[in-house]
Amino acid sequence: MKILVVDDELVSRKKMKMIMDCLGECEAVECGQDAISAYQDAWERWSPFDLITLDILMPEMNGTEVLSTIRKIESEKNIPADKRVKIFMVTSHSDKDTILTCVQAGCDDFITKPFDKDTVFKKLQGKGFKEKNNAARNAGIKESPSQTDPVETKDEILTDIISRFKQGDIDLPSLPRIHQKFSELVARGANLQEIAELLKQDAGISSKLISISNSSYYRGVVENKTLDQAIGRLGLETTRQTVNAISNRGLYVADNKKYLEIVEALWEHSLSCAYASQMIVETLNLKFRDDVFTMGLFHDIGKLMLVRVVAEIEKKADKGSEIDSISLFRTMDSYHGKTGSVLLKRWGFSDRYVLVAQHHDDIRNAGEVFEELKVIYCANLLVKSIGYGQSEPLEEDLAVNEVARELGLDSEKISSVREKVEAQMEELKQYLE
């Protein structure tokens, strides 16, 4: 277990750290700003905290503000509510208003000063924490062997993923052939007839394109019956985007039911982000050389890659070494940007596609914040707020977001994009399954 102790009082901070040192790896800081930095740094190092003890009364940034900031970061990272870091507020007061505020902000429990080892351990046990055997014995708490979690084995598996990835030992999937061929034709200025001849080689794609062209979203007066008619109605740009979506849908597969739901949620989120990116571009009348639809489609490809790697490694491990959901989500959130950028480089995408995959969640850490990156960043937040690929919608008012304002997205335009994305997903998602 990894723990962060936050307290501006030296004596209290040292006392809590001594107690927590018995439970696992413990770090202590003396102010709210340092707590936020430590929390974010832990994610960057791919080693997030499991527990934070947080003093309420601190100068400059109090415990309640730190709590709210951490919960907001978790929401932005799409961490399910039941998998977030446990936060125990530490207070010498029994003020009901303060306690209510902290509960509403998302704390898990309270530790009242003065505290000792026994009271702290009992609090932790009540919240489901499983202490190390020696710590449990020192506290007089019995721990059955069945409660022991194979943490070391799981950590070895996750460490193995990082090591193999950095060494280039992971077998990366190939970009679908039809996607490559289509892009090559478009790049050399092929006409619709040449493109139709290519697509006719894939009966599945041809059939879906015809069906999509006859959907209520694109339907014309006469029903299309041939691929040529479908491409003529959809146009080159929409045809290309749709082919990209159809061909890459095949990457989102999982043999294990445990991962199937995660993979399906990733597909829904990626597809909706692609549509939202395109809608933002059209709404703002932006012109780019690169295709933001495909950028949106691939922005989270690193998460898919990591799920596939974890599933493959688990197949070769014993049953007791299965990776729990929280570890998987943390792996995806902390490492997917770099993973996605490596994969897109391997596939031959330009630097801007690579940077979008790497920085769409932490745009302010990107060396260059270009307009396409801003579009994907906003599209990503927008579809999260709708709930695509989420266990629950992200609470995000895009209208007050600094990046959205820089792009020129106001409340009216955001509402318009949202409605169009929902309409497209409702009508077209069925054809892309």
Lowest mean pLDDT among 3-17, 56-70, 125-139, 258-272: 125-139
For the CA atoms of the chain, what is the radius of gyration?
A: 25
- Same domain? For 101 and 128 the reply is yes
Percent of the chain with pLDDT over 90: 29
Residue 53 Cα distances to 22, 26, 93, 349, 393, angstroms: 15, 11, 15, 44, 28
Asked if the structure places residue 157 within a domain, the reply is no
Residue 364 pairs in a beta bridge with none
Neighbours of 256 (CB within 10 A): 14
Average pLDDT over residues 23-35: 91
Selected residue with higher pLDDT from 144 and 196: 196
Write out the DSSP string of 201-226: T-HHHHHHHHHHHTSTTT--SS---S
Selected residue with higher pLDDT from 257 and 417: 417
Q: Find out whether 75 and 393 touch, Cβ atoms under 8 Å.
A: no
- Same domain? For 182 and 138 the reply is no
Residue 86 pairs in a beta bridge with 51
pLDDT of residue 416: 96
Does residue 362 have a pLDDT over 90? Answer: no
Selected residue with higher pLDDT from 429 and 369: 369
Asked if the structure places residue 198 within a domain, the reply is yes
- Same domain? For 224 and 307 the reply is no
* Domain limit, last residue, from 221, 250, 279: 250
Does residue 21 have a pLDDT over 90? Answer: no
Q: How far apart are CA 362 and CA 293, in angstroms?
A: 20
Output the CA angle 317-318-320, nearest 5 degrees.
120
Q: How far apart are CA 73 and CA 52, in angstroms?
A: 15
Residue 54 pairs in a beta bridge with 6, 89
Asked if the structure places residue 405 within a domain, the reply is yes
pLDDT digits (tens, 9 = 90+) for 295-311: 999 999 999 888 887 77
Output the CA angle 14-20-22, nearest 5 degrees.
115
* Domain limit, last residue, from 128, 147, 166: 147
Asked if the structure places residue 166 within a domain, the reply is no
Asked if the structure places residue 55 within a domain, the reply is yes
- Same domain? For 119 and 210 the reply is no
Asked if the structure places residue 153 within a domain, the reply is no
Helix axes 117-126, 10-21, angle to 10 degrees: 60
pLDDT digits (tens, 9 = 90+) for 90-130: 887 555 566 667 777 788 888 888 888 888 888 887 666 65
Residue 306 belongs to a domain with what CATH number?
Answer: 1.10.3210.10
Does residue 52 have a pLDDT over 90? Answer: yes
- And the tokens for 413? 């335009």
Residue 21 belongs to a domain with what CATH number?
Answer: 3.40.50.2300
- Same domain? For 305 and 425 the reply is yes
- Same domain? For 276 and 396 the reply is yes
pLDDT band at 147 (very low <50, low <70, confident <90, very high): very low
Percent of the chain with pLDDT over 70: 82
Asked if the structure places residue 423 within a domain, the reply is yes
Of 42, 40, 50, the closest CA to residue 76 belongs to 40
226 contacts: CB under 8 Å, gap ≥ 6: 210
Asked if the structure places residue 123 within a domain, the reply is yes
- Same domain? For 263 and 398 the reply is yes
Write out the DSSP string of 18-78: HHHHTTSEEEEESSHHHHHHHHHHHHHTT---SEEEEES--SSS-HHHHHHHHHHHHHHTT
- Same domain? For 308 and 215 the reply is no
Average pLDDT over residues 66-87: 83
Selected residue with higher pLDDT from 86 and 147: 86
- Same domain? For 20 and 90 the reply is yes
pLDDT of residue 117: 84
If one counts the domains in the chain, the total is 3
- Same domain? For 256 and 211 the reply is no
pLDDT of residue 136: 37
- Same domain? For 262 and 246 the reply is no
- Same domain? For 323 and 334 the reply is yes
Q: How far apart are CA 217 and CA 397, in angstroms?
A: 28
Instruction: Give the pTM.
Output: 0.63
For residue 225, give its domain range. 174-250
* Domain limit, last residue, from 199, 228, 250: 250
Selected residue with higher pLDDT from 143 and 212: 212
Strand ranges (DSSP E) for 285-337? none
Sheet holding 25-29, edge to edge: 25-29, 2-6, 51-55, 86-91, 109-112
